[in-house]
Amino acid sequence: MFVDQVKVYVKGGDGGNGMVAFRREKYVPNGGPAGGDGGKGANVIFVVDEGLRTLMDFRYQRHFKAPRGEHGMSKGQHGKNAEDMIVKVPPGTVVTDAATGQVIADLVTHGQEAIIARGGRGGRGNSRFASPSNPAPELAENGEPGQERDVILELKVLADVGLVGFPSVGKSTLLSVVSAARPKIAAYHFTTIVPNLGMVETEDGRGFVMADLPGLIEGAHEGVGLGHQFLRHIERTRVIVHVIDMSGMEGRDPYEDYITINNELKEYNLRLTERPQIVVANKMDIPEAEENLEIFKSKVGPDVKVFPISAVTRQGLRDLLFTVADLLETTPEFPLHEVEEGSARVMYKFEKDERNFFISRESDGSFVVSGGEIEKLFKMTDFSREESVRRFARQMRGMGIDEALRERGAKDGDIVKIMEYEFEFID
C-alpha cells in the first residue's frame, strides 16, 4: 500500500528531576547541599532514509514518545541525558504542525535531519539554590516537560518529470518503455492508483527521474477521482509532461482534455503553472490520430509545441527524451515553501507585557488558571516540599495571577484549579 499522508503524535522526553541531598561525611561539619541536576530529556528527530519510499510504517505506529532524562543523585551527581529518538522518514517528506499549519521541516536529502519535538531540560538540584541567606535549601526542581505536538507527514515524491493527463491516455505505457519501471497497465480507467517512479536515461548518457501519477479528471483539485490524492506529488517536479490521447478512442476531445487538465493544475496550486510543460500527443499509431492532431494544433496555436509519439511503437520517443533532458538543464528547482529574505535592520520597540495565562470560572464557582507557562512551572514544582510550594506561590505572584484572581472576584477560601489539581485561595 502506498501511504503518502499521515498524522502522528510526537513528544520530547521530560527532563530528569533535581534532587535534594546534603553532604553527610563523618568529619565534614556543615557539609551543605549536594543534590545533583536531572538529565536532559531526549529530542524526537526525523532523519531521511533513502531506502524508504512510503509512510507505510506510520500507519502502525502513530505515537513517538522520547525517553526522559535520568534524575539527579546525591553527592552532586547529575543525571544522565537521554539519547535522542531517531525516526526514519522517506525523502520528500514535509512535516507540518497540525495545530498551526506551520511547516516544521522539508526533508529531502539522505541523512538530513530535523528536531520535531525538543526534550525538556533537567530540573536543578538543591545545590543550585544555595545562597548566603539560605545556605541549606530544601528545594529542587522537577524536570521540564518535553515538547509535544501532533504533526502531519506529507510525502511529495522526488521526481524531475511528472506525467499528467486523463486516465488511460498512455502515461504508464510511456513510463514502462522509457525506463525499467513496470507499472500496472490495463484497459480500464484508474489502473494506476499509486505514483510510479522510473529512472530514464537518454542516448547521450543524461538521466532523470520520471513519475507516472494517477489520472486526473475534472474537479480533481476539489477531491474528485483518484488524482486529487496525488496532485501534491507534482509540486516537486521541475518539468510537466502533459500526455494527451490524440486518437479520441475514449470519445473525448483532445483540446478539451488539454484545457481541463491545465485548469486543474492551476486551481490546485498557481505555482504549477510556472513549470515548463511539454505537450505529448500519444497513440499516433491509430489512424484517426493524424487528423485530430492537425485540429488540436490549430486550436492551441503555434506557441505550444506538440510532440507526436506512440508509446507502443516507440515512435518519437527519442526526440521527446532529448527535449526533456535539455529543459531540465535550464530549469531551476521550485521551492515548495517561500523563504523570506531576512533584513539586516532590526527595530526595537516597547510592547506592553500581555498576560500569558487565562482565568475562567466553572459552574461550581471555582476559578481555573491555564496557560503554557504556568502549567510548565506547575509540573516543575515538587509539592512534597514546603520550600518548593512557597517558591511556586512567589512565581504565581510575580506573573500577576494573584492580582488577576482578585480582579475576577476571588476571595478567601475560594477554590482555584490548575490542571487537575485544586488549591484554596488565601488573600
pLDDT tens digits for range 293-329: 888 888 888 888 888 888 888 888 888 889 888 888 8
Enclosing H/E stretch for 318: helix 317-330
87 is in an annotated binding site: no
Q: What pLDDT sits at residue 353?
A: 57
Gap between the Cα atoms of 292 and 63, Å rounded? 55
- DSSP for 323-373, written as a single string: HHHHHHHHPPP--SS--PPPPS-------PPPP--EEEE-TTS-EEEE-HH
400 is in an annotated binding site: no
Q: Which residues pair with 212 in a beta bridge?
A: 163, 196
129 is in an annotated binding site: no
Whether residue 340 is predicted with pLDDT greater than 50 in this model: the reply is no
Gap between the Cα atoms of 115 and 48, Å rounded? 12
Q: Closest by alpha carbon to 234, among 260, 265, 204, 188? A: 265
212 is in an annotated binding site: yes
196 is in an annotated binding site: no
If you average pLDDT over residues 386-404, what whole number do you get? Answer: 89
Sequence-ordered list of residues with C-beta below 8 angstroms from that of 424, at least 6 positions apart, any chain: 413, 414, 415, 416
Q: Closest by alpha carbon to 146, among 31, 58, 243, 69? A: 69
If you average pLDDT over residues 18-26, what whole number do you get? Answer: 89
172 is in an annotated binding site: yes
284 is in an annotated binding site: yes
169 is in an annotated binding site: yes
Express each pLDDT in 176-209 by its tens digit.
888 876 766 655 555 555 677 788 888 888 888 8
Sequence-ordered list of residues with C-beta below 8 angstroms from that of 54, at least 6 positions apart, any chain: 1, 2, 3, 4, 90, 155
Whether residue 46 is predicted with pLDDT greater than 70 in this model: the reply is yes
44 is in an annotated binding site: no
300 is in an annotated binding site: no
Sign of CA dihedral 284, 288, 293, 296: negative
Q: For a pLDDT cut of 70, what percent of the chain falls above it?
A: 87
193 is in an annotated binding site: yes
311 is in an annotated binding site: yes
Domains of the chain from N-terminus onward: 1-155 (2.70.210.12), 161-330 (3.40.50.300), 358-424 (3.30.300.350)
**DSSP code at position 291:** H
For the entire predicted model, the pTM comes to 0.73
Q: Which residues pair with 46 in a beta bridge?
A: 87, 114
8 is in an annotated binding site: no
Gap between the Cα atoms of 324 and 236, Å rounded? 16
13 is in an annotated binding site: no
Express each pLDDT in 1-20 by its tens digit.
456 788 999 999 999 999 99
| 424 burial level (CB within 10 Å; 0-12, 13-18, 19+) | exposed
170 is in an annotated binding site: yes
Whether residue 215 is predicted with pLDDT greater than 60 in this model: the reply is yes
Q: What pLDDT sits at residue 292?
A: 86
166 is in an annotated binding site: yes
Q: What pLDDT sits at residue 1?
A: 45
* Average pLDDT over the chain, rounded to an integer: 83
If you average pLDDT over residues 219-231, what whole number do you get? Answer: 58
Gap between the Cα atoms of 418 and 181, Å rounded? 59
122 is in an annotated binding site: no
167 is in an annotated binding site: yes
Angle at CA of residue 63, ends 58 and 65, nearest 5°: 130
Q: Give the three cell numbers for residue 314.
A: 516507440
On the CB side of 122, CA atoms within 13 Å amount to: 26
Q: What pLDDT sits at residue 17?
A: 94
- DSSP E strand boundaries for 79-214: 85-89, 93-97, 103-107, 113-117, 148-155, 161-164, 196-201, 207-212
Helix, strand, or coil here: 223?
coil
101 is in an annotated binding site: no
283 is in an annotated binding site: yes
Whether residue 344 is predicted with pLDDT greater than 60 in this model: the reply is no
Sign of CA dihedral 172, 176, 178, 180: positive
